[in-house]
Chain A
Amino acid sequence: MFAQSSLNVRNKRVESLFRTLFLLMTILLIIPVVIILGTLVAKGGGSLSIDFLFTDPTNGMTAGGIFPALLGTILIVVVALIASVPLGVAAAIYLNEYAGDNWFTRLIQLAIINLAGVPSIVHALFGVGAFVLFFGFGTSILAASLTLAIMTLPVVIVSTRESLRSVPQAFREACWNMGATRWQTIRRVVLPNAVSGILTGIILEVSRTAGETAPIMFTGAAFFLPFLPQSVFDQTMALSLHLFVVSTQVPGVPEGLPYGVALVLIGLVLLMNSISIAFRMYLRGKKKW
């Protein structure tokens, strides 16, 4: 009854062929990641130390630590977050909870998608025109952060909308049926259940901007500064630009140093991502429906 026909044999062979093919593609995918991380750790691991993280660069950036750049990157990302999160979350709430499906909202969505597709160098030039010159912030942390904020707005909006969408419509309707206004429904039912997703999404997306170079190099990041920024109107060093500088612009840099900087930058981003993922797993365990 279950004797193998030639068709069975052929199907099996094709099955294992595709299975192997897809497996190979998956392995191929992780090879670059492994190589990048492996090289960085092998070549840059030696230059890592507490001193490296917390001292200033010396000898024309060929020795010493990276503290101003590390601090600068964290500052720029934090200020960018402060600017983009309220704006992006508010826009996402409007689009998901209030706006009807009409030409106006479709136009806005199109604009958001297009904003996400703008190359970062164009954002950089926009930042120079708008924040550095027009608003007169000069090349400063504020200008760099606002440029990054504009760049991350689309991802903040999209990830917030996804979180809002994951709250079942039945909850909203049950609430409306009790006579609740839209805002009462959002505040009492939608936001408390979406806030975890919104937060993790934002951390995940925005931590990626820590590595951006182009948008900040004309707007606020400095080649080298002998002092730390005193306010958001000062320039600052940043890890991404520092990496570019020590690997291409300065002669006589020991080989391990750029790898060390890269390792710190990637470690910072991975740390933020891990926090976000751990946070998400923790909250998923507490899911309320």
Chain B
Amino acid sequence: MVNQAAAVTKNEAEVKIAVRDLSISYGGVPALTGVTLDVREHEIFGIIGPANAGKTSFIKTLNRMDTFDSSMKVEGQILFNGLDVTKLKNIYALRSRIGVVFPLPVGLPLTIYENVALSPRLRGIKDKSELDVIVERCLTRAALWDEVKDRLSSLGSLLSGGQQQRLTIARALSQEPDVLMLDEFSIAVDPVTTMRIEDVLKELKHEMTIILVTNLVQQARRLADRTAFFLDGRCVEIGDTEELFTGNVKDQKTLDYIEGKFG
């Protein structure tokens, strides 16, 4: 189905995450089958596709969230900087290098400050002034600092949905991650905030690799360098975003989905 040559990058130095023949099932029911693709360093890698395509399951395997769900079985290889994460012992180190943002923001029941300072604290940073710097930098980069700088000690879970989502992004950034994964981050966010976050992502691309799962095809077009189209548990096509969106597709279903003929 997928043209292997197009999916796999030739220059290995550029590859951040290499996925080889990945299959996922829940209690024996397959959710994703035979995915092979490369995510390159410093790119925004978009994943589009209708519901139940296996997009979320896919990113869950990258930081071993399959360990949260005993019914979830993963087969295949996922190489993160060349190391197979499915066989990794120190999954804590892996997770600390991958920031995750989910559709519904999870403001931890801590103050705004502590939400962002938590990850540095987990890394062992105790110095207050150092934490202050990290908190301000991460909130600024998540385009939230100006709105919350006067109430850092109020609860993060009391912010509005859009603010909480930016807080979640700030928290992910406080991990100083190599990879940022966003799963339909804009579902609970208003359009203006969405555009602000998109601008942030374009900036962040220079420092990290971003995997953007989205059900808004136009969002993928605006942001992603390359885009994968998932459908019914398979990766139908991977290509440069502009190529796909200008109709240069290998599979007609990709074009139909992009043009909104089904969804």
Binding site for B on A (CB under 8 A): 100-101, 170-171, 173-181, 184, 188-189, 192-193, 288-289
Contact = CB atoms under 8 A, between A and B. Distances in A.
A180 B108 CA distance: 14
Interface residues of B, number: 28
Contacts of B107: 289
A177 B65 contact: yes
B9 interface: no
Contact of A171 (B63, B108, B122, B172): B108
B93 A179 contact: yes
A193 to B, nearest CB: 5
Interface of B: 63, 65, 68, 70, 92-98, 100, 104, 106-110, 118-119, 121-122, 155, 157, 168, 171-172, 175
A178 B108 CA distance: 12
A100 to B, nearest CB: 7
Nearest to B174: A178
A103 to B, nearest CB: 14
Contact of A178 (B65, B109, B157, B171): B171
- Most interface-central of A100, A174, A177, A189 (chain B CB within 10 A): A177
A171 B171 CA distance: 13
A100 B70 contact: yes
Nearest to A173: B68
A188 B109 CA distance: 10
Given A101-B70, A179-B122, A193-B109, 20 more contacts: A100-B70, A170-B106, A171-B108, A173-B68, A176-B95, A177-B95, A177-B100, A178-B96, A178-B118, A178-B122, A178-B172, A179-B95, A179-B175, A180-B118, A180-B122, A188-B122, A189-B109, A192-B109, A288-B110, A289-B107
A101 B69 CA distance: 11
B122 A184 contact: yes
Contacts of A179: 92-97, 119, 122, 175
B180 to A, nearest CB: 12
Shortest 9 CB-CB distances between A and B: which pairs?
A: A179-B96, A288-B109, A179-B95, A174-B106, A289-B157, A177-B100, A179-B92, A178-B119, A170-B106
